[in-house]
C-alpha cells in the first residue's frame, strides 16, 4: 500500500461518505481490493501490528463485530469489544470523558449505536480516528462494501443505475451519499411517511451534480427498478422499530424485490441486501438465493472494505 495513500487519510474520522471526495473514495476502494487480493493469496499484510481498535457497541450486530474484529486481527492489530455493559458511557460518564480516556489507550474507535449525535460528539472530543459502524442516520461502512461489490461485478460505478426499494433509512441515506459521490444514478422508492431525510437528499443531489450522477426519490417501486443495473433493499423495520412492525408491514406492501420486479430491471442486474434479511417480506427467498444475488459476496466485502478504512486512518 502506497505511503502517500496512508498519509492522506491518517488520523481522519470515517463518519459519512459525504465527507470524502470521489478521488478519496476511489482510493479507499483501491486499497480494499489490494488488501482482499493479499488475503486471498495468503500473504501477510500486518499494516497495523501493535495497534488496538476499541469497538463500542450499544447496538448489536453479527457482521459489524465479526468483520471489524477479524479484520483488525488480519491487519496484525487487536480489537477490543466494548458493549454498553462493559463501559460507563450512558451510565454517568459523558461522551467527552469516554472519548478522551480511550484516546489515551487505543489507536482508533469504531462505534455502532443508535444516535448519530453520539458519533459526532465522540469525534469532537477524541484525538484518535472514529469509525462509524452504524447509526440511525448513516451506515457508511456497508455502502463502501456495496460499492466495492458493484465494481467487482460491473467493472465500474459511474453511469450505473441503482434502485433502492424500501425504507428511507440509514442504508438509503448512505447509498444516496455513496452513489452520488461515485457518479451513479440512484433512485429511492419509498412509501409516503418513510422517505429519506430531505436534508440528506439535498446534500446527495449536490454531490451528484458535482460528480456526474443523479438522485431521485419516488413512490413507485416498479418505476424505480426499470432498467436498473443494481437492485437493493433492506428490512422494513430496523432494530429499535419492532413496535412499528405491523404498521410497516402494511405501509411497505408492494415494496418487495421478487421475480416480477426483477423482470423490469436490466437482465444482467445484480441484487443486494445489507442483511439480515426477512425473507418473504422485503425480498423473496427465490431472489436472494437466485443467480443474480450477490448478497454474500457483499457481506464478505464488509471485511475487506473496513480493513482498508482501518489501514488508512489508524
Q: Please list the active-site residues.
A: 112, 139, 142, 234, 274, 302
For residues 314 and 53, is the Cβ–Cβ distance under 8 A?
yes
- d(C-alpha 129, C-alpha 9), whole Å: 10
Amino acid at each position: 500500500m502506497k505511503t502517500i495513500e496512508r498519509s492522506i487519510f491518517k488520523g481522519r474520522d470515517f463518519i459519512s461518505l459525504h465527507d470524502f471526495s470521489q478521488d478519496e473514495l476511489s482510493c479507499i476502494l483501491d486499497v480494499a481490493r489490494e488488501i482482499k487480493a493479499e488475503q486471498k493469496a495468503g500473504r501477510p499484510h500486518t499494516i497495523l501490528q501493535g495497534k488496538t481498535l476499541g469497538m463500542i457497541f450499544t447496538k448489536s450486530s453479527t457482521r459489524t463485530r465479526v468483520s471489524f474484529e477479524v479484520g483488525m486481527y488480519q491487519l496484525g492489530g487487536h480489537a477490543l469489544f466494548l458493549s454498553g455493559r462493559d463501559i460507563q458511557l450512558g451510565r454517568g460518564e459523558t461522551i467527552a470523558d469516554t472519548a478522551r480516556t480511550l484516546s489515551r489507550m487505543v489507536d482508533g474507535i469504531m462505534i455502532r449505536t443508535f444516535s448519530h449525535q453520539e458519533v459526532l460528539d465522540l469525534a469532537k472530543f477524541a484525538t484518535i480516528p472514529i469509525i462509524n459502524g452504524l447509526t440511525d442516520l448513516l451506515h457508511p461502512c456497508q455502502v463502501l462494501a456495496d460499492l466495492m461489490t458493484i465494481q467487482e461485478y460491473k467493472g465500474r460505478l459511474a453511469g450505473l443505475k441503482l434502485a433502492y426499494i424500501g425504507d428511507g433509512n440509514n442504508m438509503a441515506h448512505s447509498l444516496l451519499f455513496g452513489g452520488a459521490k461515485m457518479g451513479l444514478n440512484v433512485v429511492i422508492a419509498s412509501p409516503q411517511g418513510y422517505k429519506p431525510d430531505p436534508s440528506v437528499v439535498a446534500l446527495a443531489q449536490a454531490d451528484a451534480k458535482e460528480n456526474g450522477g443523479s438522485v431521485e426519490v419516488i413512490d413507485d417501486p416498479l418505476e424505480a427498478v426499470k432498467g436498473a443495473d443494481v437492485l437493493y433493499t433492506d428490512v422494513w423495520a430496523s432494530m429499535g422499530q419492532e413496535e412499528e412492525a405491523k404498521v410497516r408491514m402494511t405501509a411497505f406492501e408492494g415494496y418487495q424485490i421478487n421475480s416480477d420486479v426483477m423482470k423490469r430491471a436490466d437482465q444482467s442486474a445484480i441484487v443486494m441486501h445489507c442483511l439480515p434479511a426477512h425473507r418473504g417480506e422485503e425480498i423473496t427467498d427465490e431472489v436472494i438465493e437466485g443467480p443474480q444475488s450477490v448478497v454474500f459476496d457483499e457481506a464478505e466485502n464488509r471485511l475487506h472494505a473496513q480493513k482498508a478504512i482501518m489501514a488508512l486512518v489508524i
